[in-house]
Structure 1
Amino acid sequence: MPDREPSSNISGGETGGDIVAEFDPATAETRAERVVDRLGELYWEKTYGGQDAFTCLVRTILSQNTSDVASQPAHDALLERYGNAGSDRELEPEADSITAADGDLAAALAAAEQSALAETIKSAGLYNQKSAVLIDVAEWVLEAFGSAAAFDSFVTDQPSETVRETLLEVRGIGPKTADCVLLFAGGRAGVFPVDTHVHRIYRRLGIAPADADHEVVRAVLEREVPPAKCGFGHTATIQFGREYCTARKPACLDDPDACPLGDLCDQVGVYPATDNVVDPAEADD
């Protein structure tokens, strides 16, 4: 499976796709759009969609409450053992060899022994909990759709709200996971998944209320950012959060001019004078 963040640059430039990037903060209609447009000056615009929906779902579940550095090895190990990466892999005693040969990851995980799956994904953290969720989700996919391929068709063909509502009914699938499947597998415009970076940054900027939960932040962004820019806004904000607006030491603490979004930010919960940083919900009024 390719990286969750698509690698194809379509924004033009020497290594791009010869498409003029449409990021112009001067013409943005909202501050949220100006932020995304400013990020467009820093990061590539990329294509979204095309990933296998069930594999994307598995990858996102593994990434919950951990970093990509920790979850990527777990994802790779899971695919090596249970995916279609080779016919000589070790099967669980109760696994169906026909299912394994068919390469249906949902069938393979539904037949997996939980302790073996937990050991396989150990690097992702919370491996006992995540292994149980993965088996339950795989069983749900087989019961509701019959196969991983049919689930993929559901994600790509049905309306976004139908897909989202259906996914949110399943234990272990939260809003961010559902939205990542819609974005990275379905390629849906207007979907702005909210992870910890997005949640922190748009409250810190003052664009979303300081005490907003993930769903409120999502509603604000999907209302104020044009649909075609939401996917890019998600991945670019994550990059910005890793490089500039980190949780404990944002760039503005060392240098007010170090942050490329400094003039658009309310610095909610960030106090350069005291070198103190708190969650926006705990900020002084």
Structure 2
Amino acid sequence: MDDEPAENISGGDSGGGAFAAFEPNEAETKSEAVVDRLGELYWQKAYGGRDGLECLVRTILSQNTSDKASQPAHDALMERYGSGDDLAASLAAAEQSELAETISSAGLYNQKSERIIRIAEDIVETYGGADGFDRFVREEPPEDVRETLLEMGGVGPKTADCVLLFAGGRGSVFPVDTHVHRIARRLGIAPADGDHEGVRQALEAAVPGEKCGFGHTAMIQFGREYCSAREPACLDDPDACPIADLCDQVGVYPETGEVIDPADAPESNGK
């Protein structure tokens, strides 16, 4: 059984954001050319406007699991604890065992429930509730928001960047999950040995800010459909990949069927 839904929940019709057509132009970087191609293949969207706490909760639930597992946990949490400004107070007062049971489909539910309650308590104390937290995420300097989020227990760079993108609507934010980390390095648009932060910095430096959001969500979808970890489409057919002409195939060897981490590939590998 496929561990992922058919469509990235952040990019599909139900994933929020607004479709925004970008005028075709000649990309200034290879990274922009990749994002443009993926936008044509999937979607071009401008993000922002989600509730900050809900976005934070959703992203925590998605850690170390798939959308297929985390989405039911998110839906059950929202049904049980409410939404809007009431969500922060409800979660802050939640019984940890009850919340853990509610989100059990997402895995690591004891750890995640403890994080969510602790973060909700902090939001109530610091911002007065979810509405105050929303204003902070949307109005304060992005670097300050990111630093504050990273200081919350259990919030890493990808989670912080997703909140900045989907709730804050901040441009020039390109969250890096496992799909983006793998694909950007395979393509040769990020250092082969780059960690998640190194890949993020490379992409944000080379992709126009207004394209970073859909670049993130479309690259995830591309990873699910074409450029999986073990069986990228180009192994069977060089023409099966819609961005083959832009790919350096770092760590991918169609002639032998071998696939390795780009960090372990010889420097000479690539087109």
Structure number with bigger Rg: 1
Give the drift of 1:34.
Answer: 0.8
CA 1:158–1:118: 2 relative to 1, 3 Å:
same
**Secondary structure in 2 aligned to 1:281?**
helix
User: Matches of 2:24 and 2:252 in 1, distance apart?
Assistant: 28
Deviation (angstroms), 1:23: 4.1
Query: Within 2, Cα distance between the matches of 1:216 and 1:23?
Result: 28
Q: Distance in 2 between matches of 1:178 and 1:23?
A: 31
Matched, 1:124 2:125: no
Match of 1:17 in 2: none
Give ranges in structure 1 of 5+ residues lacking alignment.
Answer: 12-19, 85-101
Give CA deviations for 1:40-94 in whole Å, capped at 9, x if unaligned: 221121131011111110001000111100100000011111114xxxxxxxxxx
Please say if residues 51 and 185 of structure 1, whose CA atoms lie closer than 8 Å, have aligned partners that are also in contact: yes
CA–CA distance in structure 2, aligned partners of residues 22 and 225 of structure 1: 15
Aligned to 2:64: 65
User: What is the CA–CA distance in structure 1 between the aligned matches of 2:10 and 2:238, rounded to whole Å?
Assistant: 32
Residue of structure 2 in register with 1:21 after alignment: 22
* Contact in 2 for aligned 1:23/1:41 (Cα 8 Å): no
After TM superposition, give the deviation of residue 123 of structure 1 in Å.
0.6
Q: Against the structure 1 CA distance between its residues 4 and 236, is the aligned structure 2 distance closer, same or farther, given a 3 Å change threshold?
A: closer
Q: 1:7 to 1:169 in 2, by over 3 A?
A: closer
TM-score, normalised via structure 1 length? 0.86
1:116-156, CA deviations, whole angstroms, 9 ceiling, x for partnerless residues?
A: 11111011011111111111111111121111110011111
- One-letter amino acid matched to 1:174: G
For residue 251 of structure 1, the aligned residue among 209, 229, 233 is 233
Percent of residue pairs identical: 70
- Greater relative contact order structure (CA < 8 Å, 6+ sep): 2
Counterpart in the other structure of 1:154: 136
1:183 aligns with 2:165: yes
* Structure 1 residue 162, shift from structure 2 partner: 1.0
TM-score w.r.t. length of structure 2: 0.90
The answer as to 2:195 corresponding to 1:213 is yes
1:165 is aligned to 2:147: yes
When the two structures are aligned, how many residues end up with a matched partner? 256
Compared with structure 1, are the counterparts of its residues 248 and 23 closer, same or farther at alpha carbon in structure 2 (3 Å cutoff)? farther
**Judging changes above 3 Å, is the alpha-carbon distance between structure 1 residues 173 and 10 closer, same or farther for their aligned structure 2 residues?**
same
Two-structure CA RMSD over aligned residues (Å): 1.5
Q: Which residue of 1 aligns with 2:54?
A: 55
* 1:30 to 2:23 alignment: no
Q: Give 1:4 shift.
A: 3.4
> How far off is 1:107 after superposition?
1.1
Q: Confirm or deny: 8 A CA contact 1:23 1:40 kept in the other structure.
A: no
How many Å apart are 1:21 and its aligned residue? Answer: 3.1
Amino acid at match of 2:184: Y
